[in-house]
Structure 1
Protein backbone atom coordinates (compact mmCIF):
# COMPACT_ATOMS: atom_id res chain seq x y z
CA UNK A 1 0.00 0.00 0.00
CA UNK A 2 1.38 3.40 -0.94
CA UNK A 3 2.23 6.12 1.56
CA UNK A 4 -0.69 8.17 0.21
CA UNK A 5 -3.06 5.74 1.92
CA UNK A 6 -2.23 7.55 5.15
CA UNK A 7 -2.25 11.06 3.67
CA UNK A 8 -4.88 13.58 4.83
CA UNK A 9 -3.80 16.45 2.58
CA UNK A 10 -6.79 18.59 1.68
CA UNK A 11 -9.00 17.00 4.34
CA UNK A 12 -10.80 19.04 7.00
CA UNK A 13 -11.46 17.23 10.26
CA UNK A 14 -13.54 18.47 13.19
CA UNK A 15 -12.10 17.35 16.54
CA UNK A 16 -13.99 17.92 19.76
CA UNK A 17 -12.01 18.60 22.91
CA UNK A 18 -8.90 19.49 20.91
CA UNK A 19 -7.51 21.89 23.50
CA UNK A 20 -5.49 19.34 25.48
CA UNK A 21 -4.67 15.68 26.04
CA UNK A 22 -5.89 13.09 23.56
CA UNK A 23 -7.77 15.66 21.48
CA UNK A 24 -4.65 17.75 21.07
CA UNK A 25 -2.65 14.65 20.18
CA UNK A 26 -5.20 13.77 17.51
CA UNK A 27 -5.19 17.30 16.09
CA UNK A 28 -1.40 17.33 15.80
CA UNK A 29 -1.33 13.90 14.17
CA UNK A 30 -3.86 15.09 11.60
CA UNK A 31 -1.68 18.14 10.98
CA UNK A 32 1.40 15.98 10.48
CA UNK A 33 -0.56 13.92 7.94
CA UNK A 34 -1.39 17.06 5.97
CA UNK A 35 -4.92 17.68 7.19
CA UNK A 36 -6.56 20.78 8.63
CA UNK A 37 -8.41 20.75 11.95
CA UNK A 38 -11.46 22.51 13.30
CA UNK A 39 -11.04 22.33 17.06
CA UNK A 40 -14.14 22.54 19.25
CA UNK A 41 -14.58 22.89 23.00
CA UNK A 42 -15.24 25.18 25.93
CA UNK A 43 -11.60 25.92 26.75
CA UNK A 44 -9.03 27.98 24.88
CA UNK A 45 -7.43 26.26 21.90
CA UNK A 46 -4.46 28.64 21.85
CA UNK A 47 -1.89 25.99 22.73
CA UNK A 48 -3.10 23.59 20.06
CA UNK A 49 -3.36 26.40 17.52
CA UNK A 50 0.28 27.39 18.16
CA UNK A 51 1.46 23.79 17.85
CA UNK A 52 -0.47 23.36 14.60
CA UNK A 53 1.00 26.59 13.24
CA UNK A 54 4.48 25.26 13.99
CA UNK A 55 3.63 22.28 11.78
CA UNK A 56 2.35 24.56 9.04
CA UNK A 57 -1.07 22.97 9.43
CA UNK A 58 -4.43 24.70 9.19
CA UNK A 59 -6.42 25.17 12.39
CA UNK A 60 -9.66 26.93 13.30
CA UNK A 61 -11.30 26.95 16.70
CA UNK A 62 -14.95 27.15 17.72
CA UNK A 63 -16.13 27.70 21.28
CA UNK A 64 -19.01 25.42 22.18
CA UNK A 65 -20.52 23.76 25.24
CA UNK A 66 -20.77 20.22 23.91
CA UNK A 67 -23.10 19.24 26.74
CA UNK A 68 -25.73 21.18 24.79
CA UNK A 69 -26.21 18.92 21.78
CA UNK A 70 -28.30 21.48 19.91
CA UNK A 71 -25.51 24.04 20.27
CA UNK A 72 -23.05 21.42 19.05
CA UNK A 73 -25.12 20.73 15.94
CA UNK A 74 -25.46 24.45 15.24
CA UNK A 75 -21.68 24.83 15.60
CA UNK A 76 -21.08 22.09 13.02
CA UNK A 77 -23.47 23.81 10.63
CA UNK A 78 -21.62 27.12 11.12
CA UNK A 79 -18.24 25.51 10.49
CA UNK A 80 -19.55 23.84 7.33
CA UNK A 81 -21.11 27.03 6.03
CA UNK A 82 -18.13 29.23 6.88
CA UNK A 83 -15.34 27.34 5.19
CA UNK A 84 -16.75 24.40 3.28
CA UNK A 85 -17.52 20.71 3.77
CA UNK A 86 -15.93 18.60 6.48
CA UNK A 87 -14.37 15.25 5.66
CA UNK A 88 -14.16 13.80 9.13
CA UNK A 89 -15.45 14.05 12.69
CA UNK A 90 -13.57 12.91 15.78
CA UNK A 91 -15.82 12.68 18.82
CA UNK A 92 -13.12 12.97 21.46
CA UNK A 93 -14.54 15.31 24.11
CA UNK A 94 -15.29 13.51 27.34
CA UNK A 95 -15.42 13.94 31.09
CA UNK A 96 -15.19 11.60 34.05
CA UNK A 97 -16.60 11.63 37.57
CA UNK A 98 -15.29 9.37 40.35
CA UNK A 99 -17.39 8.22 43.28
CA UNK A 100 -18.45 4.93 44.86
CA UNK A 101 -21.51 3.54 43.10
CA UNK A 102 -23.60 3.73 46.30
CA UNK A 103 -22.89 7.46 46.52
CA UNK A 104 -22.99 8.37 42.83
CA UNK A 105 -25.18 11.40 42.15
CA UNK A 106 -27.70 11.92 39.38
CA UNK A 107 -25.93 15.14 38.42
CA UNK A 108 -22.62 13.34 37.92
CA UNK A 109 -24.44 10.69 35.89
CA UNK A 110 -26.20 13.19 33.62
CA UNK A 111 -23.21 15.47 33.05
CA UNK A 112 -21.03 12.59 31.87
CA UNK A 113 -23.73 11.06 29.70
CA UNK A 114 -24.57 14.38 28.06
CA UNK A 115 -21.02 14.93 26.82
CA UNK A 116 -19.67 11.41 26.40
CA UNK A 117 -22.67 9.82 24.69
CA UNK A 118 -25.61 12.10 23.89
CA UNK A 119 -23.55 14.84 22.24
CA UNK A 120 -21.51 12.23 20.37
CA UNK A 121 -24.64 10.74 18.82
CA UNK A 122 -26.31 13.99 17.81
CA UNK A 123 -23.10 15.52 16.45
CA UNK A 124 -22.56 12.38 14.38
CA UNK A 125 -26.15 12.62 13.21
CA UNK A 126 -25.72 16.25 12.13
CA UNK A 127 -22.50 15.40 10.29
CA UNK A 128 -24.01 12.40 8.53
CA UNK A 129 -27.07 14.38 7.44
CA UNK A 130 -24.75 16.83 5.69
CA UNK A 131 -22.77 14.07 4.02
CA UNK A 132 -25.84 12.17 2.87
CA UNK A 133 -27.55 15.29 1.52
CA UNK A 134 -24.49 16.10 -0.61
CA UNK A 135 -23.60 12.45 -1.37
CA UNK A 136 -20.15 12.92 0.11
CA UNK A 137 -17.81 10.39 1.70
CA UNK A 138 -16.86 10.91 5.34
CA UNK A 139 -15.21 9.41 8.39
CA UNK A 140 -16.30 9.36 12.01
CA UNK A 141 -13.92 8.31 14.76
CA UNK A 142 -15.33 7.94 18.26
CA UNK A 143 -13.11 7.82 21.33
CA UNK A 144 -14.17 4.91 23.49
CA UNK A 145 -12.04 3.42 26.31
CA UNK A 146 -10.72 0.15 27.67
CA UNK A 147 -13.63 0.64 30.08
CA UNK A 148 -15.88 0.00 27.08
CA UNK A 149 -14.96 -3.64 27.75
CA UNK A 150 -14.38 -3.63 31.51
CA UNK A 151 -16.17 -2.40 34.60
CA UNK A 152 -13.60 -0.18 36.20
CA UNK A 153 -13.88 1.20 39.73
CA UNK A 154 -15.83 4.25 40.97
CA UNK A 155 -16.65 5.54 37.45
CA UNK A 156 -20.23 4.34 36.90
CA UNK A 157 -21.38 6.93 34.37
CA UNK A 158 -18.06 6.93 32.50
CA UNK A 159 -18.11 3.14 32.12
CA UNK A 160 -21.75 3.17 31.00
CA UNK A 161 -21.11 5.96 28.51
CA UNK A 162 -18.07 4.26 26.99
CA UNK A 163 -19.91 0.97 26.62
CA UNK A 164 -22.53 3.03 24.79
CA UNK A 165 -19.90 4.55 22.48
CA UNK A 166 -18.96 1.10 21.18
CA UNK A 167 -22.60 0.18 20.67
CA UNK A 168 -23.36 3.38 18.77
CA UNK A 169 -20.21 2.97 16.68
CA UNK A 170 -21.45 -0.43 15.55
CA UNK A 171 -25.01 0.73 14.94
CA UNK A 172 -23.99 3.79 12.90
CA UNK A 173 -21.56 1.69 10.88
CA UNK A 174 -24.34 -0.75 10.04
CA UNK A 175 -26.59 2.08 8.87
CA UNK A 176 -24.04 4.19 7.03
CA UNK A 177 -21.29 1.90 5.67
CA UNK A 178 -23.12 1.43 2.37
CA UNK A 179 -23.48 5.22 2.13
CA UNK A 180 -19.69 5.78 2.10
CA UNK A 181 -19.45 6.86 5.74
CA UNK A 182 -16.91 4.93 7.83
CA UNK A 183 -17.70 4.88 11.54
CA UNK A 184 -15.10 3.41 13.88
CA UNK A 185 -13.74 3.91 17.38
CA UNK A 186 -10.50 3.92 19.33
CA UNK A 187 -10.31 2.52 22.84
CA UNK A 188 -7.43 4.26 24.60
CA UNK A 189 -5.79 2.61 27.54
CA UNK A 190 -4.19 4.59 30.34
CA UNK A 191 -2.90 7.76 28.68
CA UNK A 192 -1.09 10.67 30.34
CA UNK A 193 -3.89 13.25 30.31
CA UNK A 194 -5.89 15.34 32.77
CA UNK A 195 -8.43 12.51 33.09
CA UNK A 196 -5.79 10.18 34.54
CA UNK A 197 -4.02 12.76 36.71
CA UNK A 198 -5.68 11.49 39.89
CA UNK A 199 -4.62 7.91 39.14
CA UNK A 200 -1.04 8.89 38.36
CA UNK A 201 -0.87 10.94 41.58
CA UNK A 202 -1.89 7.91 43.66
CA UNK A 203 1.29 5.82 44.16
CA UNK A 204 -0.60 2.59 44.82
CA UNK A 205 -2.95 2.87 41.84
CA UNK A 206 -0.15 4.10 39.56
CA UNK A 207 1.94 1.03 40.43
CA UNK A 208 -1.01 -1.34 40.02
CA UNK A 209 -1.79 0.05 36.58
CA UNK A 210 1.79 0.08 35.32
CA UNK A 211 2.33 -3.49 36.50
CA UNK A 212 -0.56 -4.64 34.32
CA UNK A 213 0.41 -2.82 31.10
CA UNK A 214 2.57 -5.19 28.99
CA UNK A 215 4.24 -2.23 27.27
CA UNK A 216 5.42 -1.04 30.69
CA UNK A 217 4.44 2.62 30.25
CA UNK A 218 1.49 4.98 30.20
CA UNK A 219 0.37 5.95 26.72
CA UNK A 220 1.03 9.28 25.06
CA UNK A 221 -1.67 11.31 23.27
CA UNK A 222 0.35 10.89 20.06
CA UNK A 223 -0.27 7.14 20.26
CA UNK A 224 -3.99 7.81 19.93
CA UNK A 225 -3.44 10.50 17.29
CA UNK A 226 -1.62 8.16 14.94
CA UNK A 227 -4.40 5.57 15.28
CA UNK A 228 -6.95 8.26 14.47
CA UNK A 229 -5.07 9.17 11.29
CA UNK A 230 -5.34 5.55 10.17
CA UNK A 231 -9.12 5.56 10.72
CA UNK A 232 -9.51 8.91 8.95
CA UNK A 233 -7.29 8.03 5.98
CA UNK A 234 -7.89 5.93 2.85
CA UNK A 235 -5.91 3.08 4.45
CA UNK A 236 -8.99 2.12 6.49
CA UNK A 237 -11.51 2.36 3.65
CA UNK A 238 -12.86 -1.16 4.34
CA UNK A 239 -12.92 -0.78 8.12
CA UNK A 240 -16.43 -0.27 9.51
CA UNK A 241 -17.75 -0.62 13.05
CA UNK A 242 -14.40 -1.53 14.57
CA UNK A 243 -13.09 -0.48 17.96
CA UNK A 244 -9.30 -0.38 17.97
CA UNK A 245 -7.67 -0.74 21.40
CA UNK A 246 -4.56 1.42 21.79
CA UNK A 247 -3.67 0.35 25.29
CA UNK A 248 -0.14 -1.00 25.48
CA UNK A 249 -1.58 -4.50 25.64
CA UNK A 250 -3.85 -3.83 28.66
CA UNK A 251 -6.82 -5.81 27.33
CA UNK A 252 -4.63 -8.69 26.24
CA UNK A 253 -3.40 -9.24 29.80
Structure 2
Protein backbone atom coordinates (compact mmCIF):
# COMPACT_ATOMS: atom_id res chain seq x y z
CA UNK A 1 0.00 0.00 0.00
CA UNK A 2 1.25 3.46 -0.87
CA UNK A 3 0.73 6.89 0.65
CA UNK A 4 -1.21 8.01 -2.44
CA UNK A 5 -3.35 4.96 -3.14
CA UNK A 6 -6.43 5.77 -5.23
CA UNK A 7 -5.23 9.36 -5.79
CA UNK A 8 -5.12 10.96 -9.22
CA UNK A 9 -2.33 13.46 -9.86
CA UNK A 10 -1.73 15.80 -12.78
CA UNK A 11 1.92 16.79 -13.29
CA UNK A 12 2.41 19.51 -15.88
CA UNK A 13 5.56 19.47 -17.99
CA UNK A 14 6.30 15.86 -17.07
CA UNK A 15 7.97 14.58 -20.25
CA UNK A 16 11.48 15.16 -18.86
CA UNK A 17 13.57 16.46 -15.99
CA UNK A 18 11.99 17.29 -12.65
CA UNK A 19 8.44 16.73 -13.88
CA UNK A 20 9.22 13.25 -15.09
CA UNK A 21 10.82 12.31 -11.78
CA UNK A 22 7.85 13.71 -9.85
CA UNK A 23 5.39 11.67 -11.91
CA UNK A 24 7.35 8.47 -11.29
CA UNK A 25 7.72 9.18 -7.57
CA UNK A 26 4.00 9.79 -7.08
CA UNK A 27 3.19 6.58 -8.95
CA UNK A 28 5.61 4.66 -6.72
CA UNK A 29 3.30 5.55 -3.81
CA UNK A 30 0.11 4.49 -5.57
CA UNK A 31 -1.08 7.52 -7.54
CA UNK A 32 -2.27 7.34 -11.12
CA UNK A 33 -0.69 10.19 -13.05
CA UNK A 34 -1.71 12.44 -15.91
CA UNK A 35 1.45 13.22 -17.87
CA UNK A 36 1.37 16.56 -19.64
CA UNK A 37 3.74 17.55 -22.42
CA UNK A 38 3.97 20.37 -24.94
CA UNK A 39 6.50 19.25 -27.55
CA UNK A 40 8.19 16.01 -26.42
CA UNK A 41 5.72 13.14 -27.04
CA UNK A 42 8.52 10.57 -26.90
CA UNK A 43 9.54 11.83 -23.47
CA UNK A 44 5.93 11.72 -22.28
CA UNK A 45 5.63 8.12 -23.46
CA UNK A 46 8.81 7.22 -21.59
CA UNK A 47 7.37 8.85 -18.47
CA UNK A 48 4.19 6.82 -18.87
CA UNK A 49 6.15 3.58 -19.08
CA UNK A 50 8.16 4.43 -15.98
CA UNK A 51 5.05 5.58 -14.11
CA UNK A 52 3.34 2.26 -14.76
CA UNK A 53 6.46 0.30 -13.88
CA UNK A 54 6.76 2.18 -10.58
CA UNK A 55 3.06 1.69 -9.92
CA UNK A 56 3.33 -2.02 -10.57
CA UNK A 57 6.06 -2.24 -7.92
CA UNK A 58 3.73 -0.48 -5.48
CA UNK A 59 0.77 -2.73 -6.32
CA UNK A 60 1.72 -6.29 -7.13
CA UNK A 61 -1.88 -6.93 -8.24
CA UNK A 62 -1.49 -5.51 -11.75
CA UNK A 63 -5.20 -4.85 -12.27
CA UNK A 64 -5.06 -2.30 -9.45
CA UNK A 65 -1.73 -0.75 -10.41
CA UNK A 66 -1.54 3.01 -11.01
CA UNK A 67 -1.96 4.15 -14.58
CA UNK A 68 -0.17 6.78 -16.62
CA UNK A 69 -2.23 8.86 -19.04
CA UNK A 70 -0.64 11.23 -21.55
CA UNK A 71 -2.22 14.54 -22.62
CA UNK A 72 -0.68 17.28 -24.74
CA UNK A 73 -1.23 20.87 -23.61
CA UNK A 74 0.60 24.17 -23.85
CA UNK A 75 0.41 25.69 -20.38
CA UNK A 76 0.70 29.16 -21.90
CA UNK A 77 -2.78 28.80 -23.44
CA UNK A 78 -5.64 28.99 -20.92
CA UNK A 79 -8.03 27.07 -23.18
CA UNK A 80 -5.56 24.21 -23.38
CA UNK A 81 -4.99 24.36 -19.63
CA UNK A 82 -8.70 23.99 -18.96
CA UNK A 83 -8.96 21.19 -21.50
CA UNK A 84 -6.03 19.41 -19.82
CA UNK A 85 -7.78 19.39 -16.45
CA UNK A 86 -11.13 18.43 -18.00
CA UNK A 87 -9.55 15.56 -19.96
CA UNK A 88 -7.82 14.32 -16.80
CA UNK A 89 -11.12 14.27 -14.92
CA UNK A 90 -12.94 12.67 -17.85
CA UNK A 91 -10.39 9.85 -18.08
CA UNK A 92 -10.00 9.05 -14.37
CA UNK A 93 -13.33 10.31 -13.03
CA UNK A 94 -11.68 12.70 -10.59
CA UNK A 95 -8.52 14.66 -9.85
CA UNK A 96 -6.94 15.05 -6.41
CA UNK A 97 -3.46 16.52 -6.85
CA UNK A 98 -2.07 19.17 -9.18
CA UNK A 99 1.66 19.69 -9.57
CA UNK A 100 2.34 22.92 -11.47
CA UNK A 101 5.78 21.99 -12.77
CA UNK A 102 5.84 23.32 -16.35
CA UNK A 103 8.13 26.30 -16.65
CA UNK A 104 10.47 28.16 -18.93
CA UNK A 105 12.96 31.02 -18.97
CA UNK A 106 14.42 33.47 -21.47
CA UNK A 107 17.78 35.16 -20.92
CA UNK A 108 18.23 38.81 -21.84
CA UNK A 109 19.30 42.07 -20.20
CA UNK A 110 16.20 43.85 -18.89
CA UNK A 111 16.47 46.60 -21.54
CA UNK A 112 16.42 44.02 -24.34
CA UNK A 113 13.49 41.85 -23.17
CA UNK A 114 10.88 41.56 -25.92
CA UNK A 115 7.16 41.59 -25.31
CA UNK A 116 6.89 38.17 -26.96
CA UNK A 117 9.44 36.59 -24.61
CA UNK A 118 7.94 38.31 -21.57
CA UNK A 119 4.47 37.01 -22.47
CA UNK A 120 5.78 33.51 -23.12
CA UNK A 121 7.49 33.22 -19.73
CA UNK A 122 4.66 34.79 -17.70
CA UNK A 123 1.97 32.85 -19.55
CA UNK A 124 3.54 29.45 -18.90
CA UNK A 125 5.01 30.01 -15.45
CA UNK A 126 2.29 32.08 -13.80
CA UNK A 127 -0.87 32.35 -15.86
CA UNK A 128 -0.92 28.65 -16.71
CA UNK A 129 -0.34 27.66 -13.08
CA UNK A 130 -3.08 30.05 -11.93
CA UNK A 131 -5.73 28.69 -14.28
CA UNK A 132 -4.74 25.05 -13.81
CA UNK A 133 -5.22 25.57 -10.07
CA UNK A 134 -8.53 27.30 -10.70
CA UNK A 135 -9.81 24.41 -12.84
CA UNK A 136 -8.83 21.88 -10.16
CA UNK A 137 -10.43 23.94 -7.40
CA UNK A 138 -13.68 24.22 -9.36
CA UNK A 139 -13.72 20.41 -9.65
CA UNK A 140 -12.95 19.92 -5.95
CA UNK A 141 -15.65 22.35 -4.87
CA UNK A 142 -18.21 20.70 -7.15
CA UNK A 143 -17.38 17.27 -5.77
CA UNK A 144 -16.98 18.54 -2.19
CA UNK A 145 -13.54 16.99 -1.70
CA UNK A 146 -10.18 18.20 -0.37
CA UNK A 147 -7.14 18.39 -2.62
CA UNK A 148 -3.50 19.38 -2.99
CA UNK A 149 -1.80 21.94 -5.20
CA UNK A 150 2.00 21.92 -5.35
CA UNK A 151 3.85 24.53 -7.40
CA UNK A 152 7.42 24.06 -8.54
CA UNK A 153 8.70 27.55 -7.90
CA UNK A 154 12.38 28.52 -7.65
CA UNK A 155 14.89 30.13 -5.34
CA UNK A 156 14.24 33.08 -7.64
CA UNK A 157 10.89 33.71 -6.00
CA UNK A 158 13.20 35.36 -3.44
CA UNK A 159 16.59 35.74 -5.10
CA UNK A 160 17.26 38.33 -7.83
CA UNK A 161 18.74 36.83 -10.99
CA UNK A 162 20.17 39.43 -13.40
CA UNK A 163 19.24 38.85 -17.06
CA UNK A 164 16.21 36.75 -16.08
CA UNK A 165 13.80 39.46 -14.92
CA UNK A 166 10.66 37.91 -16.41
CA UNK A 167 11.46 34.53 -14.85
CA UNK A 168 11.95 36.11 -11.42
CA UNK A 169 8.67 38.02 -11.79
CA UNK A 170 6.83 34.82 -12.62
CA UNK A 171 8.19 32.98 -9.59
CA UNK A 172 7.55 35.93 -7.30
CA UNK A 173 3.97 35.82 -8.55
CA UNK A 174 3.76 32.11 -7.75
CA UNK A 175 4.91 32.85 -4.19
CA UNK A 176 2.11 35.37 -3.64
CA UNK A 177 -0.47 33.21 -5.41
CA UNK A 178 0.37 30.40 -2.99
CA UNK A 179 0.04 32.60 0.07
CA UNK A 180 -3.22 34.13 -1.11
CA UNK A 181 -4.89 30.87 -2.14
CA UNK A 182 -3.83 29.16 1.08
CA UNK A 183 -6.01 31.65 2.94
CA UNK A 184 -8.88 31.54 0.46
CA UNK A 185 -9.02 27.75 0.03
CA UNK A 186 -8.18 26.56 3.54
CA UNK A 187 -11.76 26.25 4.70
CA UNK A 188 -12.41 23.78 1.88
CA UNK A 189 -9.55 21.47 2.85
CA UNK A 190 -7.48 22.43 -0.19
CA UNK A 191 -3.81 23.05 0.51
CA UNK A 192 -1.31 24.82 -1.72
CA UNK A 193 2.46 24.92 -1.29
CA UNK A 194 5.64 25.58 -3.25
CA UNK A 195 8.80 23.60 -3.70
CA UNK A 196 11.60 25.97 -4.70
CA UNK A 197 14.56 24.24 -6.34
CA UNK A 198 18.00 25.74 -6.62
CA UNK A 199 20.40 24.49 -9.30
CA UNK A 200 19.27 21.03 -10.42
CA UNK A 201 20.81 18.61 -12.91
CA UNK A 202 18.19 18.78 -15.68
CA UNK A 203 18.20 19.32 -19.48
CA UNK A 204 17.59 23.06 -18.95
CA UNK A 205 21.08 23.24 -17.37
CA UNK A 206 22.95 21.32 -20.08
CA UNK A 207 25.11 24.29 -21.06
CA UNK A 208 26.03 24.91 -17.44
CA UNK A 209 26.97 21.29 -16.86
CA UNK A 210 29.30 21.43 -19.86
CA UNK A 211 31.02 24.65 -18.75
CA UNK A 212 33.48 23.83 -15.93
CA UNK A 213 34.21 27.49 -15.18
CA UNK A 214 30.57 28.47 -14.69
CA UNK A 215 29.78 25.21 -12.90
CA UNK A 216 32.61 25.62 -10.40
CA UNK A 217 31.61 29.23 -9.73
CA UNK A 218 28.06 28.10 -8.99
CA UNK A 219 29.19 25.25 -6.75
CA UNK A 220 31.15 27.81 -4.77
CA UNK A 221 27.82 29.41 -3.88
CA UNK A 222 26.23 26.15 -2.71
CA UNK A 223 27.17 25.13 0.85
CA UNK A 224 26.47 21.45 0.11
CA UNK A 225 28.89 21.70 -2.88
CA UNK A 226 26.74 19.84 -5.37
CA UNK A 227 23.87 20.40 -7.73
CA UNK A 228 20.52 18.96 -6.79
CA UNK A 229 18.97 16.01 -8.58
CA UNK A 230 15.36 15.68 -9.76
CA UNK A 231 14.75 13.06 -7.06
CA UNK A 232 15.54 15.70 -4.40
CA UNK A 233 12.56 17.69 -5.64
CA UNK A 234 10.29 14.71 -6.27
CA UNK A 235 10.63 13.52 -2.67
CA UNK A 236 9.44 16.89 -1.37
CA UNK A 237 6.50 16.90 -3.77
CA UNK A 238 5.51 13.45 -2.56
CA UNK A 239 5.63 14.66 1.04
CA UNK A 240 3.43 17.68 0.29
CA UNK A 241 0.99 15.54 -1.71
CA UNK A 242 0.67 12.97 1.07
CA UNK A 243 -1.37 12.97 4.28
CA UNK A 244 1.91 13.68 6.13
CA UNK A 245 1.57 17.32 5.01
CA UNK A 246 -2.14 17.85 5.66
CA UNK A 247 -1.45 20.73 8.07
CA UNK A 248 0.96 22.58 5.76
CA UNK A 249 -0.32 25.28 3.43
CA UNK A 250 0.87 28.62 2.06
CA UNK A 251 4.50 27.61 2.49
CA UNK A 252 7.58 27.45 0.27
CA UNK A 253 10.12 24.71 0.95
CA UNK A 254 13.53 25.49 -0.53
CA UNK A 255 15.57 22.60 -1.92
CA UNK A 256 18.76 24.38 -2.91
CA UNK A 257 21.68 23.01 -0.90
CA UNK A 258 21.81 26.32 0.97
CA UNK A 259 22.23 28.43 -2.20
CA UNK A 260 19.65 31.07 -1.30
CA UNK A 261 21.51 32.27 1.79
CA UNK A 262 24.99 32.06 0.28
CA UNK A 263 24.55 33.36 -3.29
CA UNK A 264 26.47 36.30 -4.68
CA UNK A 265 27.09 37.50 -8.21
CA UNK A 266 30.58 36.89 -9.57
The size of the alignment, in residue pairs, is 249
Q: 1:211 aligns with which of 210, 214, 220?
A: 220
For residues 121-200 of structure 1, what are the structure 2 equivalents within 5 Å? 121-200=130-209
Q: How far apart, CA to CA, are the structure 2 residues paired with 1:204 and 1:101? A: 25
TM-score, with normalisation over the residues of structure 1? 0.95
Tell me the secondary structure at the aligned position of residue 158 of structure 1.
helix
Counterpart residue number, 1:21: 17
Tell me the secondary structure at the aligned position of residue 13 of structure 1.
strand
1:37 is displaced (CA, Å) by 0.7
Counterpart residue number, 1:52: 51
1:54 is displaced (CA, Å) by 2.4
RMSD: 1.3
Tell me the secondary structure at the aligned position of residue 133 of structure 1.
helix
| Higher relative contact order, chain-length normalized (CA < 8 Å, sep 6+) | 1
Q: How far apart, CA to CA, are the structure 2 residues paired with 1:83 and 1:10? A: 10
Segments of structure 1 that go 5 or more residues without pairing to the other structure are: none
1:72 is displaced (CA, Å) by 0.9
1:171 is displaced (CA, Å) by 0.8
Q: 1:79 aligns with which of 55, 71, 88?
A: 88
1:250 is displaced (CA, Å) by 1.2
Q: How far apart, CA to CA, are the structure 1 residues paired with 2:140 and 2:206? A: 38
Q: How far apart, CA to CA, are the structure 2 residues paired with 1:209 and 1:157? A: 21
Q: How far apart, CA to CA, are the structure 2 residues paired with 1:249 and 1:233? A: 25
Segments of structure 2 that go 5 or more residues without pairing to the other structure are: 57-65
Please list the CA deviations of residues 2-26 of structure 1 after superposition, one character each: whole Å capped at 9, or x if unmatched. xx8x711111100000100010111
1:107 is displaced (CA, Å) by 1.0
Tell me the secondary structure at the aligned position of residue 212 of structure 1.
coil
Please list the CA deviations of residues 72-101 of structure 1 after superposition, one character each: whole Å capped at 9, or x if unmatched. 112211220222111100000001111111
For residues 93-104 of structure 1, what are the structure 2 equivalents within 5 Å? 93-104=102-113
Q: 2:243 aligns with which of 229, 234, 244?
A: 234
Q: How far apart, CA to CA, are the structure 1 residues paired with 2:214 and 2:162? A: 11
Runs (4 or more) in structure 1 with deviation over 4 Å come to none
TM-score, with normalisation over the residues of structure 2? 0.90
Q: How far apart, CA to CA, are the structure 2 residues paired with 1:72 and 1:49? A: 20
Q: How far apart, CA to CA, are the structure 2 residues paired with 1:150 and 1:15? A: 25
1:202 is displaced (CA, Å) by 2.9
Q: How far apart, CA to CA, are the structure 2 residues paired with 1:252 and 1:75? A: 37
Q: How far apart, CA to CA, are the structure 2 residues paired with 1:172 and 1:191? A: 27
- 1:7 and 2:7 correspond: no
